[in-house]
Amino acid sequence: MGSKLIGDFIRKRRAVLKLTQKELSGSLGFKTSQFISNIERGVAEIPPSRIKDLAGILQVEANELANLVSESLKRKLMRKSEEISGETDPFIDEFLSAWSVASEEDRALIKTLVSKVLKF
């Protein structure tokens, strides 16, 4: 699942709840709708620190949203690995196995680190 798919998910939930981008952004403490717009267009990621709040506002389970975000990250890692080496890296396979059993706290730390390394 890519970032665009996460954006579509958020857009659909907003529509069901009859929230504008500005209202949703405001509920998360942002002054403009740009934060949600960027996520919905797939040009920005949901910061791990905002998943729980965003899930609450969208009335979905935080785990459901976290799983969408982690799946997106997983796919980005796979694409990046394949771009660099031309094939799947065994390290990535091991990483993904470890990721599937990692705690939410560990996942948040990993996401922050990987985001900085991959610069997205």
> Which of 24, 30, 1 is closest to 11 using CA atoms?
24
Is pLDDT larger for residue 116 or for residue 7? 7
Is pLDDT larger for residue 15 or for residue 75? 15
Is pLDDT larger for residue 89 or for residue 11? 11
Owner of token pair 């975000």: 69
* Res 33 pLDDT > 50: yes
Question: Domains of the chain, with CATH numbers?
Answer: 3-118 (1.10.260.40)
> First and final CA of the chain: distance in angstroms?
16
* Res 24 pLDDT > 90: yes
What residues contact 54, with CB distance under 8 A and at least 6 apart? Answer: 10, 28, 46, 65
- The pLDDT, as a whole number, for residue 88 is 65
Structure tokens at 101: 């059993």
> Which of 101, 111, 106 is closest to 70 using CA atoms?
111
CA 49 and chain centroid, separation: 11
- The pLDDT, as a whole number, for residue 61 is 92
- The pLDDT, as a whole number, for residue 2 is 47
